[in-house]
Amino acid sequence: MNKHTILVTGGAGFIGSNFVHHCLMENDNVVVNLDKLTYAGNYDNLRQLSQNANHIFVRGDIADPSMVSALLEEHQPAAIVNFAAESHVDRSITGPDDFIQTNVVGSFNLLAATLKYWNDLPTADRAIFRFLHVSTDEVYGSLNEADPAFTETTPYAPNSPYSASKAASDHLVRAYHHTYGLPTLTTNCSNNYGPYQFPEKLIPLVIHNALKEVDLPIYGDGSNVRDWLYVSDHCRAILAVLASGRPGEVYNIGGNSEKTNLEVVRTICSILDQLAPRAGDASYASLITFVADRPGHDRRYAIDASKIRMELGWHPQETFASGIHKTVQWYLSHAAWVENVTSGNYQSWIETNYGARR
Ligand code: NAD
Ligand code: TYD
């Protein structure tokens, strides 16, 4: 086994690419990055690493058994971090099939291939190997205003095809630890934001639309609440769990930063008013438009991150105020990246999702 080699799946997506950059910046790691490059995966996110010999990019599908087994045999990783997923709730509503295929069948295939690889390792290597599965707080369902935040023991109650498929994969991970002893770790994180997020999710969509001076669509009345975490804080949490988390355990990760969607959108508008004022001095907030709600829209998510804080000493370094400022600045200074990812099929998704809501 190569003690510094990590197999990262989905490392060309939003969080995965941020994680790959973190891994390669902070220590001697070698990252084998397996990504299918779906609409959400973008090799541009990794362009700066093209000359880095410690980054090996492989285009492929986690649901392909022979390819995954061959990759494990060839690179002999000491850890696997599974980000690969279909990740957008609205897309899971209009087309759930891909979510079952990648999030359930793909995760199962990855676990099955990993178990076989792990069983064949020498005893000392088996003891240090880890399989870390990256999941979401959405598996816990929806909270009312007065409910306590999700803990690791909150019963699962997924409400969307996305969260149901992630819940299924979490259960498979749990079963592979319980039944076969595979040293797994699961992290359930709240909503992330930051560089390289595809502009179909709320924060980059609003920045992108505002700069084009088109409607900023808010589902329902805008009072749904999410607990926002800056992406580099999530990456640091995953590295902490990988290094010191106890096999078989689940760790909740959150920003302790609950905001209504309307608050988030108004904050973005006021930052843009300062950094990129509109001609005539109108506020970007005048573009806010309430549109038909998402079917089954979860009311509120909130994470209790006491376990990871107390066991591993992790806490977020960014506040929402500092993180959102950095994020808006990043999108302003990466217009070419945005242009690149919003050409092609992006326009037809916008029509599918928003055409019927107007
Ligand atoms: P993303 O959609 O930006 O990226 C997903 C990546 O996975 C893409 O690069 C895509 O090409 C790749 N991929 C998809 N299907 C694949 C397959 N079959 N084989 C190999 N690669 C495949 O997603 P993200 O926002 O970066 O989320 C990453 C992970 O974190 C997901 O598992 C998601 O459930 C979880 N998560 C996301 C958030 C969030 O706010 N974005 C919060 C908590 C947890
Ligand atoms: P999203 O970024 O899709 O993340 P998730 O659904 O996984 O939490 O959405 C965040 C919140 O923003 C969610 O409550 C839905 C809402 N939203 C809008 O109001 N308008 C939009 O155009 C989008 C994409 C999301």
β pairing state of 192-193 and 258-260 = unpaired
Report residue 102 as tokens.
């990648």
Query: So where are the chain's domains?
Result: 2-193+229-255+300-318
Entry pTM: 0.98
pLDDT given for residue 132 in this prediction:
99
User: How confident is the model over 38-92, as pLDDT tens digits?
Assistant: 999 999 999 999 999 999 999 999 999 999 999 999 999 999 999 999 999 999 9
Cα–Cα distance, 92 to 164 (Å, whole number): 10
In 3D space, the residue among 156, 152, 154 whose CA is nearest the CA of residue 167 turns out to be: 156
Tens of pLDDT, residue by residue over 137-159, are 999 999 999 999 999 999 999 99
CA of 262 to the centre of ligand 2 (A): 11
Active-site residue flag, 138: yes
Residue 345 has pLDDT above 90, yes or no: no
User: How far does residue 202's CA lie from ligand 2's centre (Å)?
Assistant: 5
Average model confidence (pLDDT) across the chain: 97
Kindly report the CATH class assigned to 2-193+229-255+300-318.
Answer: alpha beta
The catalytic residue among 35, 86, 137, 233 is 137
pLDDT at 347: 86
In the prediction, which pLDDT does 11 show?
98
> Which atom of ligand 1 lies at the shortest distance from residue 42's CA?
9
Which of ligand 2's atoms lies nearest the C-alpha of 353? 22
3-state secondary structure of 72: helix
Dist. CA 84 → ligand 1 center (Å): 5
Span 315-331, mean pLDDT?
98
Give nearest CA residue, ligand 1 atom 12.
10
